[in-house]
Copies of this chain bind each other. A is one copy, B any other.
Amino acid sequence: VTEVPRGPTSRRAPLTRDRVLRAAVALADRDGLASLSMRRLAQELGVEAMSLYHHVANKDALLAGVVDVVVGEINDEVARVDAPAPEDDWRGALRARILTARTVLLRHRWLPRVLEDASSFSLPVARYFDGVLGTLRAGGFSYDLAHHAMHALGSRALGFTQELFEPDDADVGEEQALALLAAAADQLPHLVGMMAEITHDDEGDGLGWCDDQTEFEFGLDLLLDGLERRRAGA
């Protein structure tokens, strides 16, 4: 048998944990979380599914690794951003941290789902929260109040909120919601009233008038204001 010269395709870069995780992030970004299966990921890397198990213990470990990659991205970005010194303005400092985290999460909208599942208290995640805690401490919080604050912020500390009604296709969801309101208007007087006022006000014709970023910041500021009041001992 003669040796077949290996083409550039067969001389592929060796698989590494890092290459696996980055490919996983890219695949989820492109095709959604549902497409992130061991088999699809392997295919993406031009490899057999079982090869992945040499670099990642199992699918849970893959997801945990993926979380670390993205939270690492957040940590890098947070370190780079210039924010008020927390000693002078803890609120501004924390707000900047959180809104920075949010910009990264908006590039990986599937991450919240993954974060909830995987037992994801890893070093990168811990480092992010250590930074939040440090900001609060510099702003004069006791450990006890800072602890409550972290719970109160919850996922908001990482830049996202539980989106309760977010169907895959926003337009379809909106249509369904409007149909429901119309069909059961008598049972939903306040929702109907709200919709009536809002569609009248600004010609928005549905739920599309909710600006995620505005609502996120409204809720965040509500919490930060309340925390400052508690800190100041009101």
Contacts and interface: CB of A to CB of B under 8 A. Distances in A.
- Copies of this chain, count: 2
Given A116-B163, A187-B130, A226-B225, A218 B152 contact: yes
Interface residues of A, number: 62
**Chain A's interface: helix, strand, loop or mixed, by majority?**
helix
A85 interface: no
A184 interface: yes
Interface in A164-202: 164-168, 172-173, 176-177, 180-181, 184, 187-191, 193-194, 197-198
Contacts of A219: 151-154, 223
A148 interface: yes
A87 interface: no
Interface in A87-135: 112-113, 115-116, 119-123, 126-127, 129-130, 133-134
